[in-house]
Structures are given as structure tokens and as C-alpha cells.
Amino acid sequence: MNKKRLFLVIITFLFIISCQSNQEDGIPIEQILHFPEKTENKKINYYDKEYSKELDIRNKKGEYSLILSGYAYSPDKDAYYNVYRSSFLDGNDNFVKGTPKNIEDFLVYEKVMDVGLEKFYKEIDNLEKVQKKEPKLADLDKYVQDWINILREERAKIKEIRSYYETGEYKKDDYSKGKILNDEYLKILYKRKQIFRTLNKKVKQEDYEEEKTIISNSISDDNLYMNLRKLNLLMGIFDDRLYDWNEISIGKNEKFNVDIKNQKKYRAELELILMEVEKQLKKTKELTTDSKIYSMYLKKDVYIKILEQGDKGVELSKKILDKIDNKNYDNLNALAVDNVVNTLEMYINIRQNLIVK
């Protein structure tokens, strides 16, 4: 192969890799942070088939978003792993033979967990009902099906592990099968998280676009409510990027387990989002007057509370970035969880408690 042809092959290969990387990364953070220009409101024909279809699509995506959010913040998704880990894994997730006491405790706690998990896994049925609804959403429905499959696979593996220890089979084979089951379970767990991240990121980014359009078409210097929604959206984007759209370990004592391949880009994007949060918080404060609050029928005490939550979010975000800069991951998840909870409580205050009814 001559040098010219070799050069072309290398360039082509790098281009393909670049495309794959961009596709995997999804929408660039700059685009996520970009709010569209205000568009003129079109007259809606509520009997139009296209409008009806668009509404069905939005409703289906909304149901997906609701289920994913409930899952992401649920402690139940990690309940079994936490019990299993304390009995059969060391600090690096390597398999260890459980002592008789470990196994006894595992089976007791596992049965307790199983009651909660039964309810938790019933959500899969709800998810499947949504997935089967019309209209079909191409890639999104496929990702959902992949997620349903892996959750069911996880459930089956959990039952297999329970049976193995419950029947005392581990005594006969000296944990030989236990090691295999362990590897299989951890692979399923890893795959579950990867599938969730892909699905969650896609759904969240579509949520961002819809919310940004609503805000852009409604926001003005007089509209304090929409300025708060914009602030809250930006804070939510920070939280999502912080966890890289992965599952969130709700336990504050949990490790901050986010596998970031490009740390420099990750840190820069978080900084960029935080700058937008601070800018929007400052703008909202500058726009705030009592007359505007009352003219929009907003509760002043709740409004002030929301601004305080904005301040708290900025403060927590800066502490998080400091820890990342110093590679100090102690208590990082505790800070991150506090930040997520603060953003969620702010969301509830804006959507449910702010407007005088």
C-alpha cells in the first residue's frame, strides 16, 4: 500500500471514529444550552390529524420521561445490589465467599427487599404498556424495549442467586457457581446502567428542547415565572450532566461512580452550564420587583424561597466543581444528591406552589 493510499485510509478511519463519537455524545452541550428564537403562535386546528398525532407523540414521550425520572431517583433500583454487595463483594466489587452469617443476613434482607422489588418491577409492565402505544417512536421504543429486557434479565438472575444460596448449593460446589452467578449479575448491572444512560439522555434532551421552546415563546422581562422556569431548567441540565445522564445513587454515603472518559471536556461543560445558571439567576433577581410578583399572582414567600434555592444550587455546584478539580471524591455524591434534591424541590415550588390559586 503506497503512502498516499495509507494516508487516505487513516483519515477515513479517523473520520468514522469521530462520527461515532459524536453520535454517542449526542447533542453538544452548547446546543443544549441554546434557546431558540421566539416564534409566532400558529392557529391550532384541534381536529387536524397531524396535530392529534403530534399530541400523542408528546404524551407518550411525557410518560417515558415520568417513568425514567421515577426510576432514576428511586432507591429501590440499588436495594438488591447494596444487600448483595455487603455479603459477597469487596471494596472493588470482587467476589468473596460469604461467611455463614453473611449468607444468613443476605437471605433475610433479600426477602425483605424482595417485597419492595416486586412493586418496583411491576413498573416494567407499565413501561411496556406505554411502549406498545401508538404512534411508534422508532429508536426511542427500541431503547425502551432494550431496557425492559435487561430489567427482566436482572430480575431472573436475582431469583437464581437467591435459590443458589437458599438451597445451600454453595456448600456442595464451594461457591463455584456462585462466582459465575456473580459475574453474570454484575455484567447485567453494568449493561442496565449503560442502556438507561442512552435512553435517559435521549429522552432528557428532547425534554430540554420542548421546555426551551415553551420558555422562549413566553419569556420576557415581565414574566418572572418563565425566568424561574429557565433557571430551574439550567440547574437540571447541570445535574444531568454531572451524573452524565446515568442512574443516580441516592444514598449520600455511596461513591460518586460516574465513568467519564474525557475529564477535561466534562469539567469544561459543567463550568459552562454553571455560568449560564449564574447569569440567569442574576438576571431574574434584577428583574424582580414586588409589583411584578403581585401582577403575576405569585406568592412572594414562595418566590423568595425559589431564589434562595437558586443561590443554594450555585453554591453546591461550585463546591462540586472544587472537589472535581482537586480530585477529592469524598462526600462528592452527598453534595451531588443535595444538589439534585434542591433542583427537584425548586421545580415543585415553581410548578405547584408559586402561583396563587
String of DSSP letters for 65-94: HHHHHHHHT-GGGGHHHHHHHHHHB-TTS-
- The pTM for the full model equals 0.84
Summarised one tens digit per residue, pLDDT across range 36-59 is 988 766 665 556 667 577 888 888
Q: Residue 170 belongs to what H/E stretch?
A: helix 169-173
Contact residues for 59 (Cβ-Cβ < 8 A; gap 6+): none
Residues 4, 331: Cα–Cα separation, whole Å: 54
C-alpha cell at 156: 431472573
C-alpha cell at 193: 446502567
Neighbours of 120 (CB within 10 A): 21
Residues 109, 132: Cα–Cα separation, whole Å: 35
Determine phi and psi for 288, rounding to 5 degrees: -70, 125
C-alpha cell at 240: 444531568
Summarised one tens digit per residue, pLDDT across range 69-86 is 888 878 778 888 988 999
String of DSSP letters for 281-329: HHHHHHH--HHHHHHTTB-HHHHHHHHHHHHHHHHHHHHHHHHHHTT--
Exposed e or buried b for every residue in 242-262, given b needs 16+ CB within 10 A?
bbebbbbbbeeeeebebeeee
Mean pLDDT computed over 133-158: 91
Summarised one tens digit per residue, pLDDT across range 89-144 is 998 889 999 999 999 999 998 888 776 677 777 777 888 888 988 899 887 899 99
For the chain, the average pLDDT equals: 86
C-alpha cell at 130: 406505554
